[in-house]
Amino acid sequence: MTRAASGQPLHMIGTNRDITAFKEALRAREEIQDQVEGILENMNGYLFQRALSPDGNVSYPYVSESLYRMLGLPFEPGKPGPDLRQVVSPLDADRVEAAIRQSARDMTALDLEFRVRTGDDRELWISNRSSIRRLYDGTIIWDGFGTDITVEKRAAQQLFYLTYHDKLTGLRNRLGFEADLESAVTSAIENLAPFCVFFIDIVDFRAMNDTLGMKKGDYIINETARRLQTIAGADAVVARIAGDEFALLKRATDKIAATLLAERLCAVVAEPIWLGNENAASDAGYRIDVNIGIAGFPDEETSSASALLQNPVPECMKRCDIALYEAKRLGRGKFCHYSDDIDHRVRNRTLLQQSLHLALANNEFLLHYQPIFDFQSGKIIAAVALVRWQHPTLGFQPPDQFIPLAEESGLIVPLGAWVLKTSMTQIRQWRTQIGLQKIAVNVSGVQFSQTDFVEMVENLLRETGATPDMIELELTETTLIDCSPDMLARMNALRGMGFTLAIDDFGAGYSSLKYLSKLPVDKLKIDQWFVGQMLNDSSDAAIIRTIVALGKGLNLELTAEGVETMPQRDFLLAEGCHAGQGYLFSKPLAQKDFETTIKTRK
Ligand code: C2E
Ligand code: CA
């Protein structure tokens, strides 16, 4: 507009523009922005622009509205975004700040994961990705996109927790325990502080779980876990490393302290667990036992001390396993420290157990026979079959060692059947060839508790053509102490068929007169330990006297085991025991030698 000097308008120049396109563009832009916001909201994400000015100031020139919603903050259009550093959790703030500065220095894109606190005090996990550029004035700009990854993070944390913890007890699991062991090793080396690891196994848990049901089984596991932690103290790590196996790590503990702890653990775990109503008179509580294997770290007393230092975690666990294996062999409620000696024994046993499985198929077993003599006439009246194992490379193995192994693995069942069958075949021949009437066969408790034992014996009679009067079955006293009604029925059946039943190793199991009078047996075999001691120890002599009197009173035959000297024979005879076996008369003999012996003795 031009004016005259008086102020009068002279003329006006103007343009008219069609702004329809501009307005449409503006609307389109708003629409796009709405769409973007919609998308961002659905994705649980936001857009942002971060600026780092040359004076070092960080600001957020733009953040999308969705971030406000995400953070529970009020949105004020047109205002610059909140300083995101204010909402980053203090746990991550330093790390985030350092990463931003680093990205600016290197001019590299920035990916970040961090926690934020929302306006209503919740914690969210945010993942950020941004590209980077520099403006002409030196300001650095990040254009980025962020998402809420809280759900994924929680799931990952849960997964992480489950990776290292046992669901049932909340204790560490095997993996978690190994991680703790790893850090204990590091601190033991740095601080010269030894520690001990315990493997703790509940005896017969599987059978218990089957009879009581899963729910009560779980309760027992939880209660055991609680007791272990209470006894071991809050500073000890207790872990559940298998269904019925716990591990315990106790720092600053030497062998003596470990022994005391193991004793306490065994005792406290064995106290009754109340499964039902604690006040109910019928609920006497449930009792469990554990076995414990212990290994120390470091352990200079062992020859493989350097292997332990080189490979601490697996080596430590292996040592506990070996010690536990030995503890189990010692019986319920027993514990054992790892040592070279035990390592050697367990390895040997494992080796034997493996070859034992092949031994039967490979015909590595044979029978030796020890004659039983009549003390007065000196005549052989029967033979005891004793199994022998000739290992192809390890040589002769004594039955005292491999029979328990065969019992553990169950191989005793087919092995016992083989012994019985071989003895039946042998005695059938010997009755006609050398006039021997009877062979006594040892029957293991494991074998005798098989429900089809009688059936198996009947089959063998059929196969070999032997008759029951040719065989005496020796059952150890310890087997018979826990004699179940089933076993009693089996004894009656066998005796009914005509077999002679003997109680083996009598005197060793401290059985009572009451129980003895109820057992359907024909004979007592006096344990060789008493025979060996009776002339040195007056109380053993008294026991022999009692056993003989007992046998006579119950109308049982008597045979003494392990008779080595004439005075022993004379004493036994004087007391009223008329027969026996032992080195005085003969050692166990191979078949041919036995035949020769019997011919010369006749
Ligand atoms: P056992 O039934 O008490 O057998 C007697 C053991 O004492 C035999 O040892 C025999 O060699 C030994 N012996 C015999 N006379 C004397 C003696 O005068 N003094 C001494 N010190 N020992 C004597 P072996 O053959 O080593 O057998 C050991 C145990 O292994 C047997 O004890 C028996 O419990 C078990 N056994 C052997 N063969 C079998 C079998 O076929 N089946 C089962 N289940 N167990 C068997
Ligand atoms: Ca025997």
Q: Report the CATH number that the domain containing residue 58 is assigned in CATH.
A: 3.30.450.20
b/e map 323-346, b = 16+ CB within 10 Å: bbbbbbbeeebbbbbbbeebbeeb
For the CA of 448, the nearest ligand: 1
Asked if the structure places residue 29 within a domain, the reply is yes
Q: Strands 365-374 and 471-476, how do they pair? A: unpaired
Do residues 489 and 584 both lie within one domain?
Answer: yes
> What is the radius of gyration, based on Cα positions, of the chain?
42
Do residues 147 and 229 both lie within one domain?
Answer: no
Q: Closest Cα to atom 42, ligand 1: which residue?
A: 442
Q: Closest Cα to atom 23, ligand 1: which residue?
A: 562
pLDDT, position 381: 95
Last residue within a domain, chosen from 124, 151, 178: 151
Q: Which residues line ligand 1 (CB under 6 A)?
A: 370, 385-387, 398-400, 403, 416, 419, 442-444, 504-505, 528, 561-564, 581-583, 588
What whole-number distance in Å separates Cα of residue 400 and Cα of residue 391? 15
* CATH number of the domain within which 506 lies: 3.20.20.450
Say if CB 368 and CB 355 are below 8 A apart.
Answer: no
Which strand (E) or helix (H) includes residue 579? strand 579-580
Q: How far is the CA of 14 from the centre of ligand 1 (A)?
A: 128
Do residues 146 and 182 both lie within one domain?
Answer: no
- Residue of 375, 401, 474, 528 best suited for mutating to test ligand 1, as the one with most atoms within 8 Å of CB: 528
3-state SS class at 30:
helix
Give the range of the structural domain holding residue 536, as residue numbers without chain letter: 355-600
Q: Closest Cα to atom 6, ligand 1: which residue?
A: 562
User: Could you tell me the mean pLDDT of each successive run of 10 residues in the chain, 602 residues long?
Assistant: 75 76 82 77 84 90 86 78 78 92 94 90 92 94 93 87 90 94 91 92 90 90 96 95 95 92 96 72 76 93 86 95 94 95 90 88 95 94 96 89 89 96 97 95 94 96 97 88 86 96 80 73 91 84 85 91 95 94 96 93 69
Cα dihedral across residues 264, 270, 276, 278: positive or negative = negative
Do residues 371 and 266 both lie within one domain?
Answer: no
Last residue within a domain, chosen from 125, 151, 177: 151
Do residues 362 and 328 both lie within one domain?
Answer: no
Question: Is the bond leading into 298 cis (omega within 30 degrees of zero)?
Answer: yes
Asked if the structure places residue 230 within a domain, the reply is yes
For the CA of 419, the nearest ligand: 1
- Residue of 403, 534, 583 best suited for mutating to test ligand 1, as the one with most atoms within 8 Å of CB: 403
Do residues 256 and 362 both lie within one domain?
Answer: no
Do residues 462 and 518 both lie within one domain?
Answer: yes
Last residue within a domain, chosen from 277, 306, 338: 338
Asked if the structure places residue 7 within a domain, the reply is no
Do residues 194 and 91 both lie within one domain?
Answer: no
Cα dihedral across residues 554, 557, 562, 563: positive or negative = positive
Q: What is the 3-state secondary structure (H, E, C) of 385-453?
A: EEEEEEECCCEEECHHHHHHHHHHHCCHHHHHHHHHHHHHHHHHHHHHHCCCCCEEEEECHHHHCCCCH
Q: How many domains does the chain have?
A: 3
Asked if the structure places residue 19 within a domain, the reply is no
Do residues 514 and 389 both lie within one domain?
Answer: yes
Do residues 334 and 363 both lie within one domain?
Answer: no
* CATH number of the domain within which 311 lies: 3.30.70.270
Q: What is the 3-state secondary structure (H, E, C) of 88-150?
A: ECHHHHHHHHHHHHHHHHHCCCEEEEEEEECCCCCEEEEEEEEEEEECCCCCEEEEEEEEECH
Do residues 325 and 362 both lie within one domain?
Answer: no
pLDDT, position 31: 82
Say if CB 443 and CB 472 are below 8 A apart.
Answer: no
Q: What phi and psi values does residue 596 have, to the nearest 5 degrees?
A: -60, -45
